[in-house]
Amino acid sequence: MLGLVDGDIIVFRCAFAAERNEWHLHVPKDDYKGVFEYKREALEELDKRLPGKLSRVEGEDYRLFPELQLEPLSHALQNVKTLMKKVADANGLNEFDIKVFLSSGQCFRHRVAKTRPYKGSRKDKRRPTYEKEVRQYIIEQYDTYIAEDEEADDLLGIWAMKHGPHETVMITLDKDLDQIPGLKYNYMHEVGYE
């Protein structure tokens, strides 16, 4: 059995898991300054500090802003290691049975998309700080294949069909791969299905 891993999702999940926002609240009226783990908590404090004031003006009545907090890179890399062990164990695989697939960046869909840019709604989305380092770690530590002119999940699907739907398990969160017959494993829900 081969475990075919959609590495693009793992890069993003593990890199983002090593960063978080701290929310800073400043209310000049009483010279209050606070730091919160969640924006919701900061807004609850703001309601206490400015009770009954429904038309608050940010920058005048208060200031609320996030500050990115990074854990060490080693935490992001440990996230990868832990997740890969989890999916291997859940599927009875060893390190030699796992093949990881990563996208190279550009694929044919960028050239053929005419109505609007392919994945154009994602162009302004922030990418994880440790994306390149996590990606490089995966390439160095696992049997990794880089999809050229296609996406990682395209190549993963090709491998699944080439090696047989019951000789492989597709390890991904991407529901698009449900179009391909065979075994799947969703590590978020810890569910295997066909």
Mean pLDDT, 10 residues at a time, over the chain (194 residues)? Answer: 95 96 93 95 93 81 94 97 96 94 73 61 80 97 91 90 92 91 94 94
Rounded to an integer, what distance in angstroms lies between the CA atom of residue 159 and that of residue 167? 10
The 8-class DSSP code of residue 72 comes to P
Give me the pLDDT at residue 55, please. Answer: 78
Give me the pLDDT at residue 25, please. Answer: 96
Q: Provide CB contacts within 8 A for 165, sequence distance 6+.
A: 180, 181, 182, 183
Tokens standing for residue 168: 């492989």
Give me the pLDDT at residue 104, please. Answer: 85
Give me the pLDDT at residue 107, please. Answer: 60
Tokens standing for residue 122: 């994602």
CA angle at residue 162 from 182 to 146, to 5 degrees?
A: 100
Rounded to an integer, what distance in angstroms lies between the CA atom of residue 184 and that of residue 177? 9
